[in-house]
Structure 1
Amino acid sequence: MTEPTLSDFEDDTAIFKATGPPDHWLTTLNTGIWGFASDNESSWERVSAGDLILFHSTGSDTHDGNWDSGIIGYGIAGTKRTKEYPLWRSEVEAGENAFPYIVELTATHWRGNIGGVSGAEIGEKSHEQIHNDIESLLQNRLTLGEIEEETGSRFPVMGSFSSPSDGQQHLRLLQSEPLTTVRYRNRDVEQAESADEPETASQSFDHLRKREGITLDGDALFDDLYFDPDERRRIQSAVESAVQSGKHVIFTGPPGTGKTELAENTCKALLHNDQYTDYQISTATADWSTFDTVGGYMPRDEAGGSLDFVPGQVLERLPNGDHARNELLVIDEINRADIDKAFGQLFTVLSGQPVQLPFQQAGSEVEILPADRVDWSSQPASHEYVVPESWRLLATMNSYDKTSLYEMSYAFMRRFTFIRVGPPSGDLEQAISKYVELWGIETTEPDEAAVATVWRTMNSHDRAIGPAVVKDMLEMMSAMEPATIEEKTTQAVASYVLPQLEGIPQRKEIVQQLFETRVDESVLRQVASEVLQVPLE
């Protein structure tokens, strides 16, 4: 897993240190909880959601087993509450609730061999099992000697909870080695989700062998979309050739040109092929990591239990074990995600190579296998996720932010066909009338003419806008009746066009050209100066 770095947190994020015996940290790993004693309520009250807590393991466990002290990971604080039951080893053996004030962590990040730690509750483990688990948990820990050598100061080991002055340096040192991420949810949520999942046991996997014969329903591809005949033929030909030749697809273009609708319609246009079982849409974010796309460990319940591998967005679409699914996946705005951080092992997967993940499922290493490595005469094992030859990943990318495109490796890019979806050219008045008919908007010819002029002005620069922005403008103008055409156009431009110009060098020139359309120049001048931070004489 890829752990968050310092740049992912706010500058004023509080960093605390929690000290406890290594067997207590085993429980925190499996539950996502850290506790405070009754006489330490004031420390518990200092913690807020989003704070970071460094995990300091002492040199001995609660039964005097001896290890080297060190920092073994960190967690991100979530909600706080009290508990009324024993949870940690010392509590369970004493039959008391010694740490009633708890912080529920939204995620934890560990330096050790997390896959080697048993998910059983602490009371069910033998002393030998606990010692083995501690050995795995403490692997690769950041020792106190290493901290002193790197920072020139000693780590504050005294006290069960404190705020170290060098917390950011300690976190940076901790992140110098790869960390394994674990995220948490309670059993009630998981059971509710699993209850909604269809039964897939004993399904046939025959349909997953097929690659040839994939066809595209052209009518479904353009459902609720309008393109002129030439553009329609170009897009359909590009999509067909991509999916039939084994390529994944990224639709690129300016905002509002219909990229997301085309990606979803492509899925609908493919579902009549019996190779596919469904499709899903997900929107990328800057917070995505391989936990979101590939998967990672997650406990089954808050009071302990097995630490299970949970598949991410991509693996959840693929067949494994008794799941004979082959779901198309659409990732909207893929360039919002850090490609390297979010896709990790998928670079190799999309290049057609097998990948072994650093996680275990049903006692075996989780594997992602290309279809040619699988014997379809028997279903895959529960730890095997197979990429059928017919499976496709579709994505959209805003062409105004191409940075992520150049961060993709060649092995990643060559698996995709990039299809541009641009704004219409030519007679924009005629195009608007076609769109208005498609959208079912009640508008007027003057409104359409005014918007067409604005649209033509924008598209004459390298900040073109698509039909979706035009739709927003017309809907606003229709709702503003009986205002003047200048009032309506000015408000629509201020609301939907000016935000598209933020940060581009030509924004002053474009705004000055917009003054020549049917707008109230004095009002638009004032709004543009405030929104775009440019002087307009």
Structure 2
Amino acid sequence: MTASTLDDFDDSVTIYKATGPPDHWVTTLNTGIWGFTPDNETGWDRLDEGDIVLFHSTGKDTEGGRWDSGIVGYGIAGEKRRKEEPLWRTEFEVSENQYPFVVDLEATYWRGDVDDVSSATVAEKSDGRLDADIEALLRNRLTLDRTKEATGDRFPVMGSFNEPSHGEQYLELLHEAPLTAVRYRQREATGEDTARGIVDETDFSHLFGGELELDTAGLFDGLYFGSDERKRIRSATVSAVQSGKHIVFTGPPGTGKTELAENLCRALEGNEQYTGYRLTTATADWSTFDTVGGYMPREEAGGSLEFKPGQVLKRLPTADAARNELLVVDEINRADIDKAFGQLFTVLSGQAVQLPFEKDGAEVEIIPGEDVDPAVGPAPHEYAVPGSWRLFATMNSYDKTSLYEMSYAFMRRFAFVRVGAPTLPDDDEALEELMVEYDRAWGADGADRPERLSVGRVWRAVNGATEERAIGPAIVKDMLEFVRTQPADAGDAAFDRALTEAVLSYVFPQLEGVPKRRRIVESVAEIDRIDDIRLIESAREMLQIELSTDG
């Protein structure tokens, strides 16, 4: 049985850690196998099917190259067997079966960018290609500093295989970030090693069909909205997901759009259809190469070209990867939508599309999940779009021209859910109560914190001066954290300077190009804890507006 969340593991499972050089973990990713030397046969003996193996990568590869150590992922132990042929880099170099005792992993889960790791065998890879694979696999690794911070103990780096005392905590720490699940083709009766791919038909069938359940309990984690706003956002989001729509969260900067999108992904990950989610940020340079894919040189084949999938296709099931990852595109209106999405307009409407590229001798196709036989899976040249797959995006509503530059063909494929800035009360007592609610949502306690009201007054002054450029709670959170870096006994003058600098650092950058920015600065300058002279002088330099410093 494979598992993708911590709740899937029962109490009988033992958590081990295996230590090895990073190039060995690249081989494990591609084969789903980990090996033991004859000296460590006892460790192999005590490993049971269903146990968890944490993947600890050392700071050196087998050629002496230096890398960042850390925990790169974990696997679920399957059958144990003996092998006869070389598999790892060192075995090929010395033509010796150094790790004869192996375990076939049912599935593996990785922190790194496994899509960027070549599926060729280690014997076929150049040193440059293998180095690039190691770099991709080590991205976003769980650092040993982080494990010590969380447990208070050093991670047990000594020994190639043992049972660490904080195994469950290490597993929980791995799950703090999105993991990519990889499953493997069924091994033949001969025990022949197989490539990265599919375990069996059930590993494909769970990606397609089935009802989606959406537990919204964590939808607003780390965020605060009034009860009516919570109901509106929850209702709009649930309706969009269950009706098959993709979603664009739109609103002013700092209102929690990205957090909502990621929380939504985490809520959906409880469904067996999904193998994780990815977050990427759009740029003005995006083209269909970034989203769909295109040809790239193949190092192992003398520079010949091969098709490499883009951000969207990397999330979809194909012949060598049973994946269905949700995708979050942050700031989607930074990209030229028509240029960047191209053929994806057709894909987002649930239709098949043929791409002008070849893979394994056939034209690349994107097909609806309903056209896939779950017992067989997609062909090598096909990328399937499960009915459950969703694209979520965020968009800054102040860039209104970008909204209208989107074609109606694109817009009608999405539900637009507005995430607005709150209406702030005129009364200071009510304002402070509201600030307490936000502060609690961000993890602070409910104790009296005098800086809350001062920061709240700045927020009210900015949003009340004009509706043209309201700011959201995330910017206010940044200001609070900035002000709180001051020692408690620093005095009133130090607090005033810190509050003013917080405005310059976090509010002023939002006012670039705003026609009524003068009015906003004047309103903030009237707050009694603001250093108005410093504010006005900075407004001249940063925002090109002249205000009098008299009085």
Which category of TM-score, normalised to the shorter sequence, fits these structures? 0.5 to 0.7
Asked if the contact 1:300/1:307 (under 8 Å) is kept, the reply is yes
User: Closer, same or farther in 2 for the Cα pair 1:304/1:416, shift >3 Å?
Assistant: same
Alignment partner, residue 332 of structure 1 = 330
Aligned to 1:317: 315
Distance across 1 between alignment mates of 2:448 and 2:535? 22
Tell me how far apart the structure 1 counterparts of residues 310 and 410 of structure 2 sit (CA, whole Å).
Answer: 19
Gaps of 5+ in 2: 1-126, 139-179, 185-196
Cα deviation, residue 302, structure 1: 7.3
* Amino acid in the other structure paired with 2:245: K
How many angstroms apart in 1 are the aligned matches of 2:323 and 2:435? 41
Coordinate RMSD, CA, aligned:
2.2
Contact 1:242 1:248 in 2 (8 A): yes
The 8 Å contact of residues 183 and 322 in structure 2, kept in 1 or not, is answered as no
**Residues 35-114 of structure 1: matches in 2 within 5 Å?**
none
TM superposition shift of 1:535 = 1.6
Return the offset for 1:195: 6.6
Task: Give 1:204-283 correspondences, 5 Å limit.
Answer: 204-211=203-210, 213-283=211-281
Structure 1 residues 260 and 195 mapped into 2: Cα distance closer, same or farther (>3 Å)? closer
1:229/1:195 Cα in 2 relative to 1: closer, same or farther (>3 Å)?
A: closer
Partners of 2:343 and 2:322 in 1: CA distance: 23
Paired AA for residue 383 in structure 1 = H
- The answer for the alignment partner of 2:366 in structure 1 is 368
Asked whether the 8 Å contact 2:198–2:204 carries over to 1, the reply is no
- Please point out which of 499, 504, 509 is paired with 2:519: 509
**Pair 383,522 (structure 1): closer, same or farther in 2 beyond 3 Å:** same
Corresponding residue number in structure 1 for 2:544: 533
Quick check: 2:292–2:309 contact (8 Å CA) kept in 1?
A: yes
In the alignment, structure 1 residue 524 sits paired with structure 2 residue 535: yes
Candidates 399, 402, 405, aligned match of 2:400: 402
Residues 478 and 441 of structure 1: CA distance in aligned 2, closer, same or farther (over 3 Å): farther
Deviations 1:311-343 (A, max 9, x none): 111000001113221110011111111212211
The alpha carbon displacement at 1:402 in A equals 2.4
Higher relative contact order (CA 8 A, sep 6+): 1
Alignment: residue pair count = 352
CA pair 506-269 structure 1, distance change in 2 beyond 3 A: same
Question: Which of residues 438, 442, 465 in structure 2 aligns to 1:439?
Answer: 442
TM-fit CA distance, 1:347: 1.4
Specify the alignment match of 1:188 in structure 2: 130
State, as a whole percentage, how many aligned pairs show the same letter: 60
Residue 202 of structure 1 is matched in structure 2 by 198
Separation of aligned partners in 1, 2:443 and 2:372: 50
Name the CA shift for 1:189/1:360 in 2 (closer, same or farther; >3 Å).
farther
State the distance in 2 between where 1:494 and 1:195 align.
39
SS in 1 for 2:370: helix
Report how far residue 280 of structure 1 moved.
0.7
Contact 1:249 1:416 in 2 (8 A): yes
Deviations along 1:233-274, whole A, 9 cap, x unmatched? 111111110110000011111111111111000000001111
Closer, same or farther: CA 298–186 of 1 in aligned 2, 3 Å: farther
Shift in Å at residue 284 of structure 1? Answer: 1.1
1:430 aligns with 2:429: no
Moved more, 347-356 or 359-368: 347-356
4+ residue segments displaced more than 6 Å: 193-197
Structure 2 distance, partners of 1:328, 1:383, is 21
SS of aligned partner of 1:285: coil
- The question of whether the paired residues in 1 share the 8 Å contact of 2:306 and 2:359 is answered with yes
2:183 touches 2:198 (CA, 8 Å); kept in 1?
A: no
Letter in 1 for 2:255: T
Query: Counterpart of 1:383?
Result: 381
- Amino acid in the other structure paired with 1:472: D
Report the more deviating stretch, 415-424 or 475-484: 475-484
Matched, 1:475 2:481: yes
Give deviations 1:120-162, integer Å, cap 9, x for gaps. xxxxxxxxxxxxxxxxxxxxxxxxxxxxxxxxxxxxxxxxxxx
Letter in 1 for 2:243: S
2:331–2:394 contact (8 Å) kept in structure 1: yes
- Secondary structure in structure 2 of the residue aligned to 1:208: coil
Amino acid at match of 2:291: T
- Contact kept, 8 Å, 1:280 with 1:327, in 2: the verdict is yes
1:396 and 1:431 map into 2 onto residues whose CA distance is 25
Tell me the TM-score normalized by structure 2.
Answer: 0.61
Deviations 1:367-416 (A, max 9, x none): 01122333434211011011111100001111111222222222211111
Cα gap change, 1:354/1:224 in structure 2, threshold over 3 Å: closer, same or farther? Answer: same
> What TM-score do the two structures reach when normalised by structure 1?
0.62
